[in-house]
């Protein structure tokens, strides 16, 4: 079965059996029954109110444990998990997002916009694949927000790649403006390349048997080198800030890592240094996963739905919140294709017996014509003013999970997506793409589904 059809196949099983819940046979990973649940209210109830019955699946923990064993995401909802969340909960407060993370994010998004302006001028109306651009943006945002440092050589590398000739014929001499243009990709800094390798490993490990997968990777020198590189980088930054604290200084944290270390010091170092470092690195990989995933699909949908793009741009000019468009991209293409939990004890779902160890999975479902991209799904008329306003409760939405084990970085993710999407839609018109590109988007399906390429045809607009 093609990877891109797994989610659809799971939903089809419930339709075939006329039931909101089915068990997939043979049994799931390592002999544990895999249960598919498409009842949104029941799935939401499991995530938010049935923590005594269900916790994150052991498979989920093992996927992340091979890279960052000390991070909260590798734990069940236990004392260790709670102690790490105490260190990091400040990071998602409005004050930290506005005063620390927000300015760094805006600076990176502005640099990215300037790079795209240079590319669009050289492309002269020809489309190019923006997926590598979004991935590089995510890495720059992640290292700036999480570790408080930019990779200075990256700007020079990007400028150098734009100063040369495009890999295809010069766009100025091109007759066919529908022919894609390829720009030379600037080499990634070593620490960026290591992080990208780790992100890909997480996706591959999610396909099954993560312990065996990481065991095999351990024999590769390139894998061991990447882990050493990241551990050294993060360790040095942590040690430098810790030394400042030891000297009696009280520096204001400028990153996720520094904020967690500062909180740990105030609590008399209850956590191990490696735990804090692994937790910070998990935030980086989370950013690396969400920004490219969202922006790849946003670029695709904006190119296809020209009228919705115009509405969004007009709304931005009128200072109207673009939350409906964001929510619809996440609904159609959630960062995680399906949510997986594990029964902690014998229990029931919708009257069906669920044995301990069974893994209920909830693929997105519950919308009429779910494949249709329509931000209007999230708009409701205000009874007093008659104006259309965003309503996040308009329908099923579990793109970031829910409950105590919902996505910890959800607020940061929304901030990232809003800033980047706003700047790009404000600055560029995403033109219609030629049929030879749009006939086969293709999917790269792992834990989340991405288009094989996010083609864009840009024209700068005056604001």
Q: What is the pLDDT of residues 192-211, one digit of tens each?
A: 999 999 999 998 998 878 99
Q: Domain for residue 10, yes or no?
A: no
The total number of structural domains in the chain stands at 1
SS3 call for 186: coil
Could you please report the per-residue DSSP string of 388-442? EEE-TTSS---TT--STTS-TTHHHHHHHHHHHHHHHHHHEEEPPPPHHHHT---
Q: Domain for residue 158, yes or no?
A: yes
Which residues are bridge partners to 429 per DSSP? Answer: 459
Whether 75 and 405 have beta carbons less than 8 Å apart is answered as no
CA–CA distance, 301 with 308 (Å, rounded to integer): 9
Q: Domain for residue 7, yes or no?
A: no
The CATH number of the domain where 434 resides is what? 1.10.630.10
Q: Domain for residue 4, yes or no?
A: no
pLDDT of 390 strictly over 70: no
332 is in an annotated binding site: no
Q: What is the pTM of this model?
A: 0.83
User: Residue 92 sits in which domain range?
Assistant: 16-460
Q: Domain for residue 2, yes or no?
A: no
pLDDT tens digits for range 60-112: 899 999 999 999 999 999 999 999 999 999 999 999 999 999 999 999 999 99
Q: Domain for residue 368, yes or no?
A: yes
CA–CA distance, 110 with 424 (Å, rounded to integer): 9
The pLDDT assigned to 323 comes to: 56
Q: In whole angstroms, what separates CA 222 from the centre of its chain?
A: 25
Q: Domain for residue 33, yes or no?
A: yes
> In 10 A of CB 355, how many CB atoms?
12
Q: Domain for residue 9, yes or no?
A: no
pLDDT tens digits for range 282-292: 999 999 988 99
């Amino acid at each position: 079965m093609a990877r891109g059809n797994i989610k659809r196949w799971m939903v089809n099983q419930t339709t075939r059996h006329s039931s909101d819940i089915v068990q997939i046979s043979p049994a799931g990973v390592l002999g544990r029954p895999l249960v598919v649940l498409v009842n949104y209210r029941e799935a939401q109830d499991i995530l938010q109110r049935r923590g005594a019955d269900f916790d994150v699946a052991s498979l989920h923990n093992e996927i992340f444990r091979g890279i960052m064993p000390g991070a909260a995401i590798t734990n069940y909802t236990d004392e260790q998990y709670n102690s790490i969340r105490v260190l990091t909960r400040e990071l998602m407060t409005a004050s930290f997002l506005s005063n620390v993370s927000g300015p760094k994010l805006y600076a990176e998004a502005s640099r990215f916009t300037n790079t795209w302006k240079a590319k669009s001028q050289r492309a002269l109306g020809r489309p190019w694949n923006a997926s590598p651009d979004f991935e590089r943006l995510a890495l720059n945002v992640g290292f700036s927000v999480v570790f408080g440092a930019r990779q200075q050589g990256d700007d020079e590398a990007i400028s150098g790649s734009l100063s040369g000739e495009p890999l295809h014929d010069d766009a100025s001499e091109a007759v066919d403006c529908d022919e894609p243009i390829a720009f030379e990709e600037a080499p990634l800094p070593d620490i960026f390349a290591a992080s990208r390798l780790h992100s890909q490993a997480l996706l591959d490990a999610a396909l099954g048997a993560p312990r065996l997968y990481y065991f095999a990777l351990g024999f590769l020198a390139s894998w061991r080198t990447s882990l050493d590189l990241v551990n050294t980088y993060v360790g040095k930054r942590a040690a430098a800030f810790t030394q400042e604290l030891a000297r009696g200084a009280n520096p204001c944290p400028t990153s996720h890592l520094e904020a967690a270390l500062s909180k740990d010091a105030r609590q008399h170092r209850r956590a191990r240094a490696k735990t804090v470092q692994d937790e910070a690195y998990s935030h980086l990989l989370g950013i690396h996963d969400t920004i490219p995933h969202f922006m790849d699909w946003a670029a695709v949908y904006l190119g296809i739905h020209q009228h919705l793009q115009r509405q969004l741009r007009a709304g931005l000019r009128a200072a109207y919140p673009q939350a409906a468009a964001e929510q619809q991209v996440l609904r159609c293409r959630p960062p995680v294709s399906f949510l997986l939990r594990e029964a902690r004890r014998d229990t029931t779902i919708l009257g069906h017996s669920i044995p301990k160890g069974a893994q209920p999975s909830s693929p997105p479902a519950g919308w009429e014509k779910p494949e249709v991209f329509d931000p209007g799904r999230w708009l409701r008329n205000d009874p007093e003013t008659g104006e259309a306003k965003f309503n996040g409760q308009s329908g099923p939405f579990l793109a970031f999970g829910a409950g105590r084990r919902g996505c910890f970085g959800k607020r940061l993710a929304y901030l990232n997506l809003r800033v980047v999407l706003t700047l790009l839609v404000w600055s560029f018109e995403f033109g219609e793409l030629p049929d030879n590109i749009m006939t086969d988007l293709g999917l790269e399906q792992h834990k989340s589904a991405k288009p094989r390429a996010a083609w864009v045809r840009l024209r700068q607009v005056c604001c």
